[in-house]
Structure 1
């Protein structure tokens, strides 16, 4: 691609996501009667707004890349093989077990660090859980489409040699993924970059986005469920300011690394079985 096209493919879906999210936040503020649509708490409707904006932007990113390059959209989901639902489910089980273990360790070593206050269930909690289960998988898939299916290969196209191209794609997509999360805290920013690079490696190792989507779904659904249950019946706090993160993110970073290793192991075993 021309030098400017990858930049457009990375920037435009991100801008659409931000604009759409802000507009939906303002609509939510009208419905809820709030005076601060950008308040850093997630009500059920604000969570729905986040999930819808990201899911739509992910589809837009794939459509733009397919239109720009003429590549079949299916090749942006998996290549050279076809999309494999069984592979997705296997990785989803692996990811759920790893993420659950990571959350358990964080609860033991740093119970207050994720912003948990106390266990509580209210109507708000039930609504948050329903929105999480029904729409967060689409949000997680949307982010993977934006950053692994589109941003990674788009950035990699700036370089001709394969290995340097892979490094550029992983770094740029990882940094872009961290940037849209809007945190200046070094712990959280570093963690978001790690997630971006880790899921990128999962996609490359497995030849598709089943593994990164599975990990992203398990991570986002389980963390949001726990955060909702530990918000004392209220909205989920969303603090990404400087000082919000701490060393407990190293536990979740280890979960990311373990998933990359597990994907690599599964792919090697599947290759030996085919041979």
Structure 2
């Protein structure tokens, strides 16, 4: 029986979570023969609305505290991006992780754990291998890239340095994971469920999730938008080939953490990281775009024989079988 035959009627409804379909790639878990476009739009609206609401509520709380402490926060038109404001922004994005799982369970009936990977659990082995490869590669790239990027040193309070360091080590990985579960997890799956076949589904899923990722950064600079779209597309394709979010989380988190650590070490203005106005980007951003394309190509090449990881064929299988598809 062809697992991609979506002409078959969906199975009868049953109590409890809807079972994950066997033998399908990560992005096709929500597909069931009916495209459910309006349900998908509702899911994406809830995802974006949650991201905005969480960020607004937490940054408003940080603004109140900063005002009480006499800090000149950028949120009130000042010049300081305080640790509290930065932490609130990152925490708001981190909340997308449970929020995405809740939306998937509520609107599609699929258990939350399936958002981790095709085997419905987080895979430490995949995560660990990605860390061993990505950390040294990204450290070299970011260090070299920063060496050719002029920065202006600004005075920092020692307490702010320590607070920013703690935020970088604790909240940045959670923020990156939240974005991955929201965009490369839920949004990728929702948009892919609109496609009739595996190739059309993949294209729709990659494009829609990447455009949404780009739009959520609210960048006015065209070079920054090219970079954000490329990052989103690369991570979506890597998620498809590896069958889960582990590698995408590593790339996203390592990129953001090293960027923050360099900012702290050089004592540059943290507000510059949030400036996405016209002129803040340049053609130099094609360098990280090329690196992302290269990493995606390597992942694709390494899975050229096995194909993308698929959901288990049986209920008692704990490793995804591999099958060739859309190479």
Q: Same fold (TM over 0.5)?
A: yes
Is contact 2:241–2:299 with CA below 8 Å preserved after alignment? yes
Show structure 1 runs of 5+ residues with no match.
none
Pairing 1:90–2:90 present: no
Cα deviations by residue, 1:64-113 (Å, 9 ceiling, x for unpaired) = 112211222222211147531021011022221222122123124x322x
In 1: Cα distance, 2:197 partner to 2:243 partner:
19
C-alpha change, 1:36 and 1:128, in structure 2 (3 Å) is closer
Q: Which residue does 1:184 correspond to in 2?
A: 220
1:248 to 277, 284, 301: 284
C-alpha change, 1:81 and 1:131, in structure 2 (3 Å) is closer
After TM superposition, give the deviation of residue 254 of structure 1 in Å: 2.1
Is contact 1:91–1:214 with CA below 8 Å preserved after alignment? yes
Q: Rg: which structure is higher?
A: 2
Pairing 1:194–2:218 present: no
In 2: Cα distance, 1:82 partner to 1:146 partner:
16
In 1: Cα distance, 2:245 partner to 2:107 partner:
21
Q: Which consecutive segments of 4 or more residues in structure 1 shift more than 4 A? A: 38-41, 265-271
In 1: Cα distance, 2:231 partner to 2:76 partner:
25
Is contact 1:81–1:207 with CA below 8 Å preserved after alignment? no
Pairing 1:117–2:156 present: no
SS at match of 1:182: coil
Is contact 2:95–2:178 with CA below 8 Å preserved after alignment? yes
In 2: Cα distance, 1:139 partner to 1:27 partner:
18
| Structural mapping, 1:190-229, within 5 Å | 190-229=226-265
Q: Which residue does 1:8 correspond to in 2?
A: 42
SS at match of 2:50: helix
In 2: Cα distance, 1:76 partner to 1:143 partner:
13
In 1: Cα distance, 2:62 partner to 2:277 partner:
23
After TM superposition, give the deviation of residue 268 of structure 1 in Å: 5.3
Note the aligned Cα RMSD (angstroms): 2.4
Is contact 1:91–1:263 with CA below 8 Å preserved after alignment? no
Q: Which residue does 2:62 correspond to in 1?
A: 28
In 2: Cα distance, 1:38 partner to 1:78 partner:
41
After TM superposition, give the deviation of residue 198 of structure 1 in Å: 0.5
| TM-score, length of structure 2 as denominator length | 0.75
Is contact 1:62–1:149 with CA below 8 Å preserved after alignment? no
Q: Which residue does 1:130 correspond to in 2?
A: 166
In 2: Cα distance, 1:204 partner to 1:87 partner:
14
C-alpha change, 1:119 and 1:93, in structure 2 (3 Å) is farther
Is contact 2:211–2:229 with CA below 8 Å preserved after alignment? yes
Pairing 1:143–2:182 present: no
SS at match of 2:51: helix
Aligned length: 268
SS at match of 1:183: coil
Q: Which residue does 1:106 correspond to in 2?
A: 145
In 1: Cα distance, 2:80 partner to 2:133 partner:
30
SS at match of 2:88: helix
Is contact 2:46–2:103 with CA below 8 Å preserved after alignment? no
Q: Which residue does 2:95 correspond to in 1?
A: 56
Show structure 2 runs of 5+ residues with no match.
1-34, 308-320, 323-327
After TM superposition, give the deviation of residue 267 of structure 1 in Å: 4.2
Q: Which has the higher helix share?
A: 1
In 2: Cα distance, 1:168 partner to 1:270 partner:
23
Is contact 1:76–1:149 with CA below 8 Å preserved after alignment? yes
